[in-house]
Structure 1
Amino acid sequence: MIGSFPQYEVFADEFLDHAREGFYNAFVDRPACLSLLGDVAGRDVLDAACGPGLYAAELTARGARVTGFDLSPRMVALSRERVPAATFRVHDLGAPLGWLPSASVDLVLLALVYEYVDDRVAMLRELRRVLRPGGVLVLSRMHPTGDWLRHPGDYFTPRVVEETWNEGWHVRFWLSSLQDTCAELREAGFLIEQLVEPRPVPEGAAVDPLRYERLSHQPTGFLAIRAIPDPRRG
């Protein structure tokens, strides 16, 4: 189990400095998620596990009304400083969103946090509840193939692993298969509209040619999904 400890709290400021222009974040995941969200002007967007507000800043700049939350109080403080036009609060993604009415948002963004949640079906059901008819969920997660290459073993049995990133950032997260992610979405009442394995945007080639080349040809980065509430399930 992962539990509700805010793992990123201890390195929140460092993470902001890293993710602002970090290759994986700035040239792979953010462009992919924003593309899947589409035109957000005039729409209500829930930025679930918002981190330091990098996605929220771009969404607000594109005309969205953003509400965000994160388990880390420091991440929420950084988001408020970065995006004063949005609304943020401290909240555990694994807990019900009792402060949000049903059918109150048009879009939900769930970027690079899926693997930190123990009961992902319950989380997804709650996100489906707050989506309006015609709403969209966009989620990204670490690519299950890349996870398996770093942690060989039984690909099909979910398990918790530990890694140390960058300057000693220690994290624990779930390894799970692509099949499991698709099944969890279906069980929670979603239909997958689009699934992409994002490759770096062209601007990344000049920033880090070696990483650009590797991520352009190997499934070791991220996975991104655009899903809609299944209209057959009410």
Structure 2
Amino acid sequence: MFSAFSTHSLNTSFAFSRFPEAIPTSWTSSRTVFPFSETTRRMKELLPISSTAIISPPPGVRIFLGGESVSIQLEVVDVAIPENANIILGHSHFIKTVEDLYEVMVTTNPNLKFGIAFNEASGPCLIRHEGNDEELVNQAIETAKKIGAGHTFVIYIRGGYPINILNQIKNVQEVCRIYTATANPLQVIVGITSQGRAVLGVVDGYSPKGVEGDEDKRKRHAFLREITKYKK
């Protein structure tokens, strides 16, 4: 899904397909790149929730970069998380990633069970993998394959939590960013071009249902101290 207020570089047939009255007569060309401030003002006039309005794009979206038309498709990848496991999803930049991540895992917590998969982005473009648990290694390979984005890495862990190892992973020289670390139901938003696939973002768990009250705070404090042992 795209925010209505980030579509100023998309063609008018997409950005205003549901709001044709927002298009000035000077913007009728489908190749027009229209002013962001004017786009925002007109969409705010038309939409009741101005700052959070969402438009669902068609299966293929065309954007214009430097006058060139580029086709992008969006795909939502549902990610499986094995029982009692967590996933860490990130982006790296070198084939040495799998070896360095393996070293971080075993030296940080020798008892941790894990599987790592890394999508090579040049040369043979193989899914590189390491780990000490066959189930988690196979699941990491499968998830990396489904996402299909170059230089993306997937780590499944069991017997520990991401908080135990996340800083060490971030400090690996090749690691560029972490997209998520979670045990929640997970969806990965993938953009697809003629060159390949890219992780645009993630849907981690569910949307908020409310704001915590005093009893919720008490339960949160108790959970941290009695269950996870993070606090004394």
Sort the TM-score into its range (normalised by shorter chain). Answer: under 0.3
Please, what TM-score do these two structures have when normalized by structure 1?
Answer: 0.25
Over alpha carbons, which structure has the higher Rg? 2
The structure richer in helix per residue is 1
